[in-house]
Chain A
Amino acid sequence: MKYTFLKSLSILGLIVLASGCTKNFDEINTNPNAPTAVNSGLLLPQIQRDMMNALLGETWGIGNIVIQHTAKNQFVNEDRYLWGELNGIWNNVYDNNRDIKIILQQSEANGENNYKAVALIMKSWMFSLATDAYGDVPYSEAISAKEGQNYPKYDTQEEIYNGILGDLKTASDLLGTSSESVAGDVIFKGDISKWKKLANSLRIRALMRISRKRDVRADLRAIVDNTATYPIFESVADNAVYAYSASAPDQFPLFSSRIGSFNEFRASKTLLDTLQSLNDPRMPIFFRPTPDTESSANPVFAGIPNGLNDVDALQYNGGPQFQSRIGSTFYEQAISTSGLSITKGIVMTFAELQFLLAEAAEKGLISGDAKAYYENGVNASFQFYGLTTPAGYLTLPEVAYGGTQEGNLAKIGFQKWVSLYFQGLEAWFDWRRTGIPALLPGISNQNDDKIPVRFRYPIIEQALNADSRKAAVDRQGPDDLNSKMWHLK
């Protein structure tokens, strides 16, 4: 009897051993690899990097081509407007706004107004990219899965721009009202005054973007006439740029491309020819002489037309040996000193702001000297490339300011287009509004002779957010490359 009892006891012991010891299970299932909270300064860097890289990706792959800064001589689909899925901006804007939202929540709770403002500026810039690329996109209900919203509605572009303009103003007002330093800011290294200038400069960009739809006069003047409260960029030193590094993994993204993948992009005849006619010294930075003549005494520059079919593109002008490549500072020289000073990720520059102000002044939206803004813009662009504006450049007939409003606007638009080299997406967004310079669709294009004006929504949205997407398409027009978004209508 006792024997059996002992046996039973030992078996009971085993059972307890097997099932009872679950007390430390919570501890075992606590992830030792990752924190459950981090401060805002640790969230900011990767947001800035991811967005810059995403923007550069679409800039290189689509923006520079569609705006005819560059053209393709192989794998010409993009140049013929056979655009596959373009999800880089989309995915990165939303993916990174998750962390933006956390910064906003944390800074709100901690009274960190500077962080909050920086996050609002980043958010505004990011959503402006999304809506300018796609039109109506999720905004007010976006980033709310944690609150249970799995299917955010698509807001109208008008609502989004209202939100952006409001947030930027709030940001400008908040900056400097708390004392914390903004760690983890790789763009301005925590310089609050520069963030404030960026906030207001972006407001000007946004207002001009929607100026076809709305009288933006008062809003513009509220900034431009009141720069003590709402400072804007004052020089190229204020440029909002992301500086890459000489060593991996922070190199300029194109540096690690396959050589063929880089060289299938060539100088667009549209841009190259005009620069050449102006003897513009930016041209040898933008482009290289043709491979055939590069090391000869008389280097020749030659672009290729946009939108040729593969055979025509590759054989144009006698073949790739006679077609200018993209400047070496954007590739193998990207890690050199000169490359590092030019090949940057760009949020917005002083030059662009000056051209925006020149346009606004010329149109009478603001008071101010349109010519001075214009020439500041041109000079700032040269300065960006380490050049000084050549003597006589500003008096060339094609450049000189003065004359009709139409002529002046064309000159502003043209110089702005040039200055936005390697910012093809922004150049395209702006061109859709102004139509300057007059671009012709690529020759063998596959888009009914129309230059595209938007990206298609990611196909996965059809599976994951079908109803919301459909409502947007019903409102905005077919989900193709040609439907005009609100501010272009």
Chain B
Amino acid sequence: MKVNYLSFKGICHALVLTLLSVATLSAQRVNGVVTDAESNEVLPGATIVVKNEGRGTATDSEGKFSLEASEGEVLTVSLVGYAPKTVTVGTSLTLNLSLSPDNQLDEVIVTALGISREKKSLGYAAQEIKGEDLTKARETNIINSLSGKVAGVTIVGNPSGIGSSSRITIRGERSLNINRNQPLFVVDGVPISNELRGSSGSSYQEADYGNGAGFVNPDDVESITVLKGASAAALYGSRANNGVILITTKTGKNTKGIGVSVNSTVSFENVLRLPDYQNVYGQGLGGVFEFKDGNGGGAADGVDENWGPKMEGQLLAQFDSPTSNGFRGGDVGNLFNTIGPVNLDQQLAARGSINATPWVARPDNIKDFFETGVTQTHNVALTGSNANGDFRLSYTWLDQVGTVPNTDLKRNTISFAGGYNLSPKLKVRTAINYLTNKSANRPNLSYGTENIMYLFNCWLGRQVNTASLRDYWQAGREDLNQFNYNYNYHDNPYFGLYENTNSQDINRVYGNVSLTYDLRDDLSLMLRSGTDASNEFRARRRAYSTQRFQRGSYREERIGFTELNTDFLLNYKKTLNQRFDLNLGLGGNAMRQVGRFSDVIAPELAVPGIYTLSNSRVALQNLTNTPYTEKRIHSLYATGQLGFNNYLFLDVSARNDWSSTLPSDSRSYLYYAANVSAVLTDALNIKSDILSFAKLRFGVAQVGNDTDPYQLATTYAAQQAVLGSPSYSESSILINANLKPEISTSIETGVDVRFFHNRVGLDFTYYNTQSKNQILPIPLTITSGYSARIINAGLIENQGMEVTLNITPIRNRNFSWDIALNFSRNRSEVKELFTDPESGQEVSNYVLATRYVTVEARVGEQMGNMYGIGYARVSSDPASNYYDPTGQNVGQIVYNSQGKPIPTSSRILLGNYNPDWLGGIGNTFSYKGLSLGVLFDVRSGGKLYSHTQTVGREGGTIEETLEGRADGYDLTVAGNGVIGEGVVQNADGTFSANTAKLSAREWHTTYTLGRGLIEGVMYDASFTKLREVRLGYTLPNKYLGKSSLRDLSITFVGRNLALWTKVPHVDPETSSNVGGTIIPGVESVALPSTRSWGVNLGFRF
């Protein structure tokens, strides 16, 4: 018989039944009011649920409710801060209920394996975000919505405006591999990919294609739980070592009948912050400029810097000045190898002479280049449930137009969740999400010609009217020659964005199906299979005359990724006697990950404007050496929870993994977790008006971890053929055939106390993690023949604290004010690195990443320390070259005889990119149906390197470069020239003040001594952001009368509205993206972040 239930036909039949037959009982409508038993004030927001039926409602702003219930049914009324109450429906159609304030807390939170548990029973820190917080003030990348709301979470992103990628870390950096510090994302119990795949190489600059978890649709999310520690690792495996972001999708449970909900948001984005540009001097050099061919033909017109004439309205030939023959000044093609060598003289003659136009500043030339971004999201969801099942079907359409011209994103998500009780003992559930994500163009990132910010922040002439660049082909040479203000170094930004596109097309499905069978009342078995499968196609076009691609180029990248998880979980649950509750689980998981990649490039195009691989002028090149990867992990785990008198809870779990990536003798590894929660107020029977609730928790967890596939054998990588000869090179990463699994051990302890009938709540957590035997490619000097060797190494200690404080200063009948504060602080210290057991050679520092600065792990120092060349300074150390026995000049910067700072001979510590602490302050004010939420996000401390500062000075673009040219470039004029503040060392070793004056350009172009001395461009990355403002109104349903419309709400939202920081020019909350790795602490001419304003409308019927 049971076999029938399991048949496919049976399941389909059941699902159809679920959709169609939503039961209607012979019910009556019960009305009532819920009040506070002590104050008699009405209580809005109390929920009334019909027990075991899944039907329910909530009280409105006047404490009133109305629902259908049959005589004899039991109603449960609950509200946070009050003791729940159950009543049985009688014959009366009116039910007025009063609730007593309760010291008990029955908050429920979704935890590992999707199990809802009372928060008080948890022995570890977890924080929850409701789905509503994600959909009203929405972000295209859902990860960004967590900013400022969860203690201990750091998020840095690449602000491209259209669902760009974000890096999230919880409780700081534990791993020496900078890519392995992110948490695991789990949707409905099954892990999903959070891959960020790089896209550079062969002269193509990095473009931001988003990160895997960023594609989750906020409209389908019921809640997000952040499990901060490693406690859940036994249940989700090693990847949960860095915490878990647990996403629970919406279902049709607890909805009455068939319901339809609609939620729409339209928001407008503009640029939050642009650099402060100077608006005094235009393009040129030494005060001179005149356009002839943009290539050095005119006076300094090949120069792409702003050391030219003052912009005073004088008449000068410019690229957009009209010519005698009706062309523009810049309509002259010099790009030689596009259509063969060109005769410049003939072209100049054809163009005609330039009629000079006024030389004026364009203060808004960059601001005006950016457009108003528009994001529309529309969601419609159909839900239904009855005693036997429930379903939810949802469709979401996202359409985004970025602030960067010609960038967009279109995402369609269909989500289905359903469950059905096939028999009283057998339940089936599924949740499936299918999405398509398309972008015609994603902007390029990082320093280089393909990123518009490279041009804007560093080089663009301040006199250039960007609107003149909009018509970006040279007259008569469409598809062949771009039109630009400078042909020596740059691409026209409109040309780059409209012609050189980076498209993306993703199809992805993730979800799971599960069967739960109750073997006995106290024993159940769950079988589940889940997958995350995606196919991505990226096409990248480069037009003829692009600086880096004179003959154009075309590239196709295909990325296929599948992760399949198959689980079983046997669960035993028993109340042993009056005092003990026992819950035991035995589970297993088989995980398989397969990746398929191809990346093919047509290095040059035969025919301009045709973007196909077959239009390649030369042989196609293959750019990937790893077309296929596969990895498997098999696991068994056991968990147990023991509850005592509902105030003492013990959780234990253990897991054994078998990973395909490790050598056979160390393939199997066991790890465990245990934690305790004690509710003191209950245990000690404390009843107090002051202390409402107190809980202590303590946990310890150990996690083992594996590595990437194919790390055990040296291989040879195919190289680009050399003049037709195929070629290979041995991998420069030295493998280690004897790898052991990584092990990290963490302890966590915390306290949760509530006061004044839960109107003040404080949660404090301290944690300490020791991560050892990390598997990582430890960099070697290339003189050893290898760039890195893979080893088990290191001991990183990570400790910190998290505090959340919730206060409700005012709560009365009509008005309430809630404050939510969170604060966190983390320190990661490198305790040990590596000592070669054979040679005894010791590794005392480890370079995690290099980009302008080196991020190094040195024994005894903090993780995230950044090193680089600094200023040589006068020292009190007699061994120093700059020793000052008098002590008078100690600390001063030492200049050379030419007035330039002397660099230190070796790299010095320039700071740490990790913040000292993070904080968030949320205020919510509610008045009847109206609510106002204001969220501030604070980050204190941490250093940032700014490439905008370095190069913006060289280009004379930013405001700072006015120093030393108060009145032109004549050094004899007062105010011109710069004398660096510091000393010079005299021949006799004494010091005297530096008096050497440098021209403004000399000073600013060598401010970093050719980008080598970077101490002067490190900034305190602290900031405060007005992260979110939300003003919402929910229309009481009574005004909707008999219409079927319900819960009509309208919300005005603003995100990232204001920024306060000491970092000049840029948003410190940005990062640099190199080869798929986001490097924190480095700003590399990132696209400006955006602020958004929008309106959200929701209703149901």
Complexed CA–CA distance, A379 and B729 (Å): 40
B869 to chain A: which residues have CB within 8 Å?
A: 459
- Complex Cα distance, B785 from A101, in Å, reads 9
Is B907 a contact of A30 with CB atoms below 8 Å? no
Min CB distance, B161 to chain A, in Å?
A: 28
Asked if A461 CB lies within 8 Å of chain B CBs, one says yes
| A142 close to B (CB within 8 Å) | yes
CB distance from A133 to the nearest CB of B (A): 14
Chain B interface category by residue count: 35 or more
Determine which residue in B570, B618, B734 has the highest number of CB atoms from chain A within 10 A of its CB, and name it.
B618
Give the chain A neighbours of B588 by CB distance below 8 A: 14-15, 17-19
- Bound Cα distance from A186 to B660, whole angstroms: 41
A260 to B548, alpha carbons, bound, how many Å? 12
B1009: A residues at CB distance < 8 A: 82
Task: Write out the residue numbers on chain A whose beta carbons fall within 8 Å of the beta carbon of B930.
Answer: none
Instruction: Report yes or no: B488 in contact with A145, Cβ–Cβ below 8 A.
Output: no
Q: Is B730 an interface residue (CB 8 A)?
A: yes
Q: How far does the Cβ of A46 sit from chain B's closest Cβ, in whole Å?
A: 4
CB within 8 Å of A: which B468-501 residues: 486-489
Contact with B along A250-261 (1 / 0, CB 8 A): 100001101111
Q: B619 interface residue, CB < 8 Å from A?
A: yes
Contact with B along A184-222 (1 / 0, CB 8 A): 101000000000000000000000000000000000000
- Choose the segment among A34-42, A158-166, A278-286, A424-432 that binds chain B (4+ C-beta atoms closer than 8 Å): A34-42
The answer, among A22, A47, A91, A250, for a CB contact under 8 Å with B660, is: A22
Whether the pair B203, A260 counts as a contact (CB closer than 8 A) is no
The reply to whether the CB of A263 lies closer than 8 angstroms to some CB of chain B is: yes
Measured between beta carbons, the chain B residues less than 8 angstroms from A11 are 525, 568, 570, 586
CB A97 to nearest CB in B, in angstroms, measures 6
Task: Indicate whether A311 reaches chain B with its CB closer than 8 angstroms.
Answer: yes
Nearest B residue (CB) for A244: B723
**A405 CB–B CB distance under 8 Å:** no
Q: Is the interface of B mostly helix, strand, loop or mixed?
A: loop
With A11-B568, A249-B618 known, 18 other A-B pairs at CB within 8 A are A19-B658, A21-B634, A25-B660, A33-B710, A38-B716, A45-B722, A98-B732, A152-B784, A248-B604, A255-B337, A258-B548, A259-B488, A260-B486, A310-B1002, A311-B286, A319-B299, A460-B781, A464-B847
Chain A residues with CB under 8 Å of B334's CB are 259
CA distance A451 to B717 in the complex (A): 41
Q: With A and B bound together, what is the CA distance between A444 and B307 in angstroms?
A: 19
Mask: chain B, 631-673; 1 = CB below 8 Å from A; 0 = not: 1101110000000000000000000101111001001100000
Q: Given that A25-B664, A142-B784, A315-B286 are contacting pairs, would A291 and B296 also be in contact in the complex, using a CB cutoff of 8 Å?
A: yes
Chain B residues within an 8 Å CB radius of A260 = 295-296, 302, 304, 486-489
| Smallest CB separation, A382 vs chain B (Å) | 26
Query: Lowest 5 CB-CB distances: which A-B pairs, in order?
Result: A260-B488, A143-B785, A18-B588, A45-B722, A34-B715
Find residues 287-336 in chain B having any chain A CB closer than 8 Å to their own CB.
Answer: 288, 295-297, 299-300, 302-304, 307, 334-336
Q: Is A229 in the interface zone, CB < 8 Å from B? A: no
| Residue interface mask B1003-1020, A partner, CB < 8 A = 1 | 001100111100000000
Checking A90, A259, A295, A464 against B487 with a beta-carbon cut-off of 8 angstroms, the contacting residue is: A259
Bitwise interface map of B from 995 to 1037 toward A, beta carbon under 8 Å scored 1, else 0: 0000101100110011110000000000000000000000000
A47 to B307, CA, bound (A): 44
Beta-carbon contact of B781 and A151 below 8 Å = yes
Q: Is B786 in the interface zone, CB < 8 Å from A?
A: yes
Q: Is A465 in contact with chain B by the CB < 8 A criterion?
A: yes
CB contacts (< 8 Å) of A320 on chain B: these are 296-297, 302
List A contacts of B489 (CB < 8 A).
258, 260-261
Contacts of B785 in A (CB 8 A): 94-95, 97-98, 101, 142-146
Give A97 to B779 CA distance when docked, in angstroms: 18
Report the minimum CB–CB distance from A22 to chain B (whole Å). Answer: 5
The answer to whether the Cβ of A406 comes within 8 Å of any Cβ in the partner chain is no
Q: How far is the CA of A137 from the CA of B838 in the complex (A)?
A: 25
Q: What 1/0 mask marks residues of chain B from 707 to 741 whose CB sits below 8 Å from any chain A CB?
A: 00110111111111111011111111010000000
Q: In residues 1-46 of chain A, which contact B (Cβ within 8 Å)?
A: 7, 11, 14-15, 17-19, 21-22, 25-26, 28-38, 42-46
Please tell me if the beta carbons of B838 and A465 are within 8 angstroms of each other in the complex: no
Bound Cα distance from A21 to B566, whole angstroms: 14
Instruction: Give CA–CA (A321, B547) in the complex, Å.
Output: 22
* Residue B343 interfacial (CB < 8 Å): yes
Contact A19 B625 (CB under 8 A): no
Complex Cα spacing A463 to B603, Å: 37
* A403 is an interface residue with CB less than 8 A from chain B: no
B627 within 8 A of A: yes
Q: A314-B300, A332-B341 are in contact. Are A18 and B634 (CB under 8 A)?
A: yes
Bound form: Cα–Cα A465–B843 in Å: 10
Least distance between A334 CB and chain B CB atoms (Å): 10
Q: A49 in the interface, Cβ–Cβ < 8 Å?
A: yes
Interface residues of B (CB under 8 A from A): 202-203, 285-286, 288, 295-297, 299-300, 302-304, 307, 334-337, 341, 343-345, 449, 486-489, 519, 525, 547-548, 550, 568, 570, 586, 588-590, 603-604, 617-619, 621, 625-632, 634-636, 656, 658-661, 664, 667-668, 709-710, 712-723, 725-732, 734, 779-787, 789, 836, 838-839, 841, 843, 845, 847, 850, 854, 856, 867, 869, 896, 898, 900, 905-907, 969, 999, 1001-1002, 1005-1006, 1009-1012
How many A-B residue pairs have C-beta atoms within 8 angstroms? Tell me. Answer: 298
- Is B781 within 8 A of A77, CB to CB? no
Q: What is the minimal beta-carbon distance from B101 to any residue of chain A, in angstroms?
A: 47
Taken residue by residue from 172 to 184, chain A's Cβ proximity to chain B (1 for < 8 Å, 0 otherwise) reads as 0000000000001
Contacting pair B725 A184 (CB below 8 A):
yes
**B1018 CB, min distance to chain A CBs, angstroms:** 17
Closest to B290 in A: A319
Chain A 79-121: CB-based contact to B (< 8 A → 1; otherwise 0): 0001011000011001111110110000000000000000000
A199 nearest CB across to chain B (Å): 22
Q: How far is the CB of A364 from chain B (nearest CB, A)?
A: 39
B845/A463 in contact, CB under 8 A: yes
Q: List 9 A-B contacts (CB under 8 A).
A: A22-B634, A25-B667, A34-B731, A38-B728, A47-B729, A82-B1006, A248-B617, A335-B337, A464-B847
CA distance A150 to B780 in the complex (A): 7
A461 to B905 Cα, complex, angstroms: 12
In the complex, what residue of chain A is closest to B551 when comparing beta carbons? A248
Q: When the two chains form their complex, are residues B303 and A314 in contact, meaning their CB atoms are under 8 A apart?
A: yes
The answer to the question of A404 belonging to the interface, with a C-beta cut-off of 8 Å to chain B, is no
Q: What are the residues of chain B within 8 A of A91 when measuring CB–CB?
A: 782
Chain A residue numbers with a CB within 8 Å of B782 are 90-91, 94-95
**A446 contacts the other chain (CB 8 A):** yes
**In contact, B550 and A145 (Cβ under 8 angstroms):** no
Q: Which residues of A contact B710 (CB under 8 A)?
A: 29-31, 33
The reply to whether B570 and A186 contact each other, CB–CB distance below 8 Å, is no
A48 interface residue per 8 A CB criterion: yes
- A423 contacts the other chain (CB 8 A): no
A277 adjacent to chain B (CB < 8 Å): no
Knowing A22-B660, A38-B728, A148-B836 are in contact, say whether A463-B487 is a contact too (CB < 8 A). no
* A462 in contact (CB, < 8 A): yes
A130 → chain B, closest Cβ, in Å?
9
Measured CB to CB, the nearest residue on chain A to B295 is A259
Residue of B nearest to A332 (CB): B336
A150 cross-chain contacts in B, Cβ below 8 A: 780-781, 784, 789, 836, 839, 841, 843
* Residue from B589, B714, B896 within 8 A of A18 (CB atoms): B589
Interface residue A270 (Cβ < 8 Å from any Cβ of B) = no
Tell me, yes or no, whether A479 is within 8 Å of chain B by CB: yes
Query: Which residue of the partner chain, among B718, B720, B836, contacts A34 with CB atoms under 8 Å?
Result: B718
Give complex CA distance A252, B629 in Å.
Answer: 35
Enumerate chain B residues within 8 angstroms of A142, measured Cβ to Cβ. 783-785
Q: Which residues of A contact B659 (CB under 8 A)?
A: 25
Q: Which of A82, A295, A335 contacts B1010 (CB 8 A)?
A: A82
Q: Are B635 and A18 in contact (CB under 8 A)?
A: yes
Q: Given that A315-B286, A315-B288 are contacting pairs, would A25 and B300 also be in contact in the complex, using a CB cutoff of 8 Å?
A: no
